Structure 1
C-alpha cells in the first residue's frame, strides 16, 4: 500500500517531557517499520499543563490541558515551528470532545493500563495497606485519591505535579512529606522505571483512567491520507476498549481530571467487550459502580456500549456525584487523622 504524502515525510508533534518524547518515538518506529519508504521527524513542544506546575491538575478543569498548543500547529506552521501531520498523546490526557477540525486518527500500543504504587527509596512497604495510618500519598489525580479514600481512609492524599522524573525526585528527597506516589504503570514502564513499582493496583481497589496506557494519534479531519495510513496500524481490540471508555466519559461530560474509573476486557473469540465503570465522590464516601457486556465488532458498537454504561451509572446516581464535585475539597484530610 502506498500513500500520497509530500516528500514521503511525516511531521509528528508531541509534548516535551521524556515520556512524551518516548511515546512519539514509539509511533515513529511503528510507522517507519511498516512503511520503510516513509520518514518521520518529531517536534517536542511544551503545553499549558507542562508550563504551569504550581497548581493541581483538577483546578484547571482539565479538558484541553495538554493539547491546545499542539493543535494550533496541526492547522498551520507558526514562526519557527513546522506544520504537524499528527500529534501523539497519552490517550488519557486527550479530550473526549475534540475541536471540530480534528479527530482521533487511531489508538496504538496500549501497555499495562493499571495504576502503580511507588514507595520512597529505603522504605520497607510494598502496598498501600502496608503503610502506617496518616502516611502521605502523592497523586495528581482526583480519580486515584477518591477511589483510595474508600479503601484506605486513614491515609492522606496530596497533589504532586511534574513529569515522572520530577515526581520521583520529590519522593526520594530526604525531606519529603510523601511515603509513596501513585503513577500510571505504563508511563513508568515506557521510561524504564518499572523497577520502581512496588505494587500494581487492580479493580475494585482501583479502576484505571479512561484510555490509560494507550497512545492516541490526533489528526486533521480533512486529511484522508493520514487517516487511511493510521487505520492500517491500529489494533482492533485496543481500539474498541478505548473508544468505549471515551464514549462513557463523553456521555458523563467528564474531563480528564474527574473521578471516573474504568476496566475493559475484550474476548477476541466471542467478540464480547466486558466494560466496568465507577464514579466516586472526591472524598470517597459516595460511589456508583456498573458494568455491561455485549458483542462489539465495530467502532460504532464500541461507542454505543459506552453510552449504555453511562445510562446505567446515571440511573444509579453518577450524575449527582459529578454535579456536586468541588475540586477545592479534593484533598480533605480523613477524619481522626492529624
Structure 2
C-alpha cells in the first residue's frame, strides 16, 4: 500500500468524497473512489451525495440563474465544515465541464481524471430511424439546454428547430421517448451515456465538423481544500497526465475569454504521446449561429504551465479574429427568447 504523507491534524485512515445526487454523479464519484482504493486499498472511503440548486431547479435554463456555480456551492460548503446532517467532506468529484474556471480562494483543482469520449452525441427518439442531424426533416425539434450546442446547431443545421430540455439523464430520455413528445432527438454528452451504460442510445457521435464539444467535457475534476497536502498526495496518484494537459489548456482558453458554461465556446483537443504535441481547435459562435470565429494551434506541451499558456495564446488568437466582440454582444434575454421560441 502507498503511504500518504500527512500535513496537519487530519484523520489519515478515512476519506469522504462528495458528489451531486444524480445517478451519473454517483457513478462518477465511484470511479474516483475505485482509483483511490487501487492506490490505497486500506483507506476507508465514503461517498456523500448532496442535491444542489442546479439539480433542484429544473424549469429554467442555466444561463438565467447562475451558470456553473449552481453545481458547486453546496458541496464547497461541506469541504470547509459539517453542515446540517452532512459530515465534512475531503474532496468533491465534478464533471469538469461544470467546474468554474475561477474557484473560490479556499479551494483548488486537485487533479483531473482520465477522460471518457468528450464528444456530443445525437440521441433519436425511440422508434425513429434517423441516424444524423442532416437526416432530420425541416422543422424537427432538437432538445438541448446548452447555448453552445444550440448556437452550433443554428450555424450548421438552420433547417432545424430546438427547445430547451432540463433534468437528469434519465429524465431527459423519458421526455424524449414520451409518445406525445415534441422532441425528435436530444443532444447529450456521450460520456454520460457511456458511463451510465446507455451508449446503445447513441445514434451518432458528433465530430468536429458537426459540433465542437464543451471545455472539459468527458473529464472528471477533483476539487480539494487549498493547501491540503494529504489530498494533494492522493490526487497526484489518481490524476491522468494527458487528460490534464488537454483540459488545462481548454480551461485556460475559456478563462481568458471570460466565458462560462452558458456561452457558445467549443473546443476539440488531441495530444500525441509520441511527439508531445498538443493540438486544439476552437470556436466562438454567436447565439444565433450567424457569426463565428475558429482558430487552431499545435505545439509541443509537456508541463501544466505550458498547457495553460497554450490555451491563453489560442484565446488571444480568437480575440484577434473578433471573438471578444461576439461574446460582448451576447444578450442573455435574447438567448432566453431564442431558446423558448426555438427560432430557426
**Shared fold per TM-score greater than 0.5:** yes
Query: For the residues of structure 1 that align with 2:290 and 2:123, how far apart are their CA atoms?
Result: 25
Query: 1:232 aligns to what SS in structure 2?
Result: helix
TM-score under structure 1 length normalisation: 0.97
Aligned pair partner of 1:312 in 312, 317, 327:
317
- For residues 53-64 of structure 1, what are the structure 2 equivalents within 5 Å? 53-64=58-69
Which residue number in structure 1 is paired with residue 55 of structure 2? Answer: 50
Which residue number in structure 2 is paired with residue 9 of structure 1? Answer: 14
Please list every run of 5 or more consecutive structure 1 residues that lacks an aligned counterpart in the other structure. Answer: none
TM-score under structure 2 length normalisation: 0.95
CA contact (8 A) 2:39 2:237 kept: no
* Cα displacement string for residues 161-203 of structure 1 (whole angstroms, at most 9, x for unaligned residues): 0000000000001111100000000000000111000000000
Aligned pair partner of 1:28 in 25, 28, 33:
33
Deviates more, 1:326-335 or 1:152-161: 326-335
Which residue number in structure 2 is paired with residue 69 of structure 1? Answer: 74
Query: 1:216 aligns to what SS in structure 2?
Result: strand
Q: Are residue 164 (structure 1) and residue 169 (structure 2) matched?
A: yes
Query: 1:65 aligns to what SS in structure 2?
Result: helix
Q: How big is the shift at 1:60?
A: 2.2
Aligned pair partner of 2:160 in 145, 155, 159:
155
Please list every run of 5 or more consecutive structure 2 residues that lacks an aligned counterpart in the other structure. Answer: none
Deviates more, 1:54-63 or 1:324-333: 324-333
Deviates more, 1:51-60 or 1:41-50: 51-60
CA contact (8 A) 2:214 2:266 kept: yes
Q: How big is the shift at 1:327?
A: 2.5
Query: For the residues of structure 2 that align with 1:279 and 1:234, how far apart are their CA atoms?
Result: 29
Q: How big is the shift at 1:79?
A: 2.0
Aligned pair partner of 1:221 in 222, 226, 232:
226
CA contact (8 A) 2:162 2:342 kept: no
CA RMSD in angstroms comes to: 1.2
Q: How big is the shift at 1:7?
A: 4.9
Query: For the residues of structure 1 that align with 2:91 and 2:151, how far apart are their CA atoms?
Result: 34
Aligned pair partner of 1:86 in 91, 109, 123:
91
Q: How big is the shift at 1:67?
A: 0.2
Which residue number in structure 2 is paired with residue 327 of structure 1? Answer: 332
Q: How big is the shift at 1:126?
A: 1.0
Which residue number in structure 2 is paired with residue 119 of structure 1? Answer: 124
Alignment length, in residue pairs?
336
Query: For the residues of structure 1 that align with 2:183 and 2:294, how far apart are their CA atoms?
Result: 30
Which residue number in structure 2 is paired with residue 133 of structure 1? Answer: 138
Task: Decide whether aligned partners of structure 1 residues 267 and 7 sit closer, same or farther in structure 2, where only a CA change above 3 A counts.
Answer: closer
Deviates more, 1:61-70 or 1:279-288: 61-70
